[in-house]
Amino acid sequence: MKRQVFMLSDGTGITAETLGNSLITQFENIEFEKQTIPYIDSLQKAENVIQRVNQSFEQQGIKPLVFMTLVNPEIRQLFKNANACVFDLFSTFIGPLENELNEKSSYTVGRTHGVANDKSYTHRIEAVDFALSHDDGVKTRGYDKADIILIGVSRCGKTPSCLYMALQYGILAANYPFTEDDLIGFHLPEVLKPYKHKLFGLTIDTHRLQQIRSERRPNSKYASSEQCRLEVTEVEAMYQKEGIPYINSTKYSIEEIATKVLASAGLQRKI
């Protein structure tokens, strides 16, 4: 039987989801069924959700897990009386912070993901726009403005990693894919040479690359085991020859890839 999990918030639910998922993924032998319910910003909405939580307990006979980031003390108290195992992620930390800072919290909803800083918001949008317009080597003219340029074979995680770095960190990230033509007498493409100090490579296990490409173009040379092996081997040799730092993206999530790239490249958050 799946264990029911509720991620509750008076805002977007992003923080509750992130923290809740970080915790339950540590329990690999248990299957969870997750529900995220955002914008619980009134007592009536809270009572409606509590009915669902209690109903889950009545149907399964097991307390559902509730991860909540709710600012309103009254609403938080309602959930603490529900038939659930409740993890109040807000009050766990806000009390000790108030004591340490000798300052009462403003108890304002939506501070984390709201547009509290126009300059920061604008920079985030510009970074995302840069990642999209400099994706897949389509536009190389703006590479002088890039904070980092991810390089690697097709389908190794460059595009989503660049978008994540832009959205979460405000990093101007471009990416350049190596094509079959690049592999002939493989060397660093001329367009990349002036920006070698900005390059960071991704590689991937051959078997995983073949799986990903087969979903896109089944039974093609592009997705063949031989082609994938050739590209990965040649690209890794080039990284080593040119002294370009790189990581293997096979076992990492997009979030982990982006974080490892930024740490290795010494880049700091801009937003």
* Same domain, yes or no: 123 and 43: no
190 in the same domain as 92 = no
Output the domain CATH number for residue 47: 3.40.50
Q: Is the pLDDT of residue 59 over 60?
A: yes
Residue 211: its pLDDT value, please?
Answer: 96
pLDDT of residue 181: 76
Is 154 part of any known ligand binding site?
A: yes
Q: Let me know whether 80 and 200 are in one domain.
A: no
Q: Return mean pLDDT, the chain.
A: 92
When divided into structural domains, the chain yields a total of: 2
SS3 225: helix
For residue 110, name the pLDDT band (cuts at 50, 70, 90). Answer: low
Q: Was 153 annotated as part of a binding site?
A: yes
Do 134 and 258 belong together in one domain? yes
Is 178 inside a domain boundary? Answer: yes
Mean pLDDT within 59-84: 95
Say what the pTM is.
Answer: 0.72
The arithmetic mean of pLDDT across residues 213-231, rounded, is 94
77 and 175 share one domain? no
Is 228 assigned to a binding site? no
In this structure, are 74 and 23 located in the same domain? yes
**Is the residue at 174 inside a domain?**
yes
Task: Convert the pLDDT of each residue in 27-51 to its tens digit.
Answer: 999 999 999 999 999 999 999 999 9
On whether 155 is known to bind a ligand per the annotation, the reply is yes
Within a domain: 238: yes
What pLDDT does residue 271 have? 86
**Each residue of 119-161: pLDDT tens digit?**
888 899 999 999 999 999 989 999 999 999 999 999 999 999 9
34 annotated ligand-binding residue: no
110 in any annotated domain: no
**Residue 158 is labelled as binding a ligand:** yes
Return the pLDDT at 16. Answer: 92
Does residue 93 share a domain with residue 153? no
Provide the pLDDT for residue 113: 52
Are 176 and 83 contained in the same domain?
no
For 86-96, the pLDDT digits (tens) are 999 888 888 88
CB neighbours of 266 closer than 8 A, spacing ≥ 6?
Answer: none
What's the confidence (pLDDT) of residue 186? 72
Say if residues 171 and 165 touch (Cβ distance below 8 Å). Answer: yes
Interatomic CA distance for residues 71 and 61, integer angstroms:
29
Provide DSSP, 22-36: HHHTT-TTS-EEEEE
Domain assignment of residue 133, given as a range:
118-265
Q: Is 112 inside any structural domain? A: no
- pLDDT for 119 equals 81
Question: What's the pLDDT score for residue 115?
Answer: 52
Q: Is 49 annotated as a binding residue?
A: no
Stretch 67-74: mean pLDDT: 93
Poorest-confidence range of 19-23, 83-87, 116-120? Answer: 116-120
For CA atoms 121, 124, 128, 133, the dihedral sign is positive
Whether residue 5 is annotated as binding a ligand: the answer is: no
Q: How confident is the model at residue 179 (pLDDT cuts 50, 70, 90)?
A: confident
The answer to whether 268 touches 147, Cβ cutoff 8 Å, is no
- 114, pLDDT greater than 80: no
On whether both 70 and 203 belong to a single domain, the answer is no
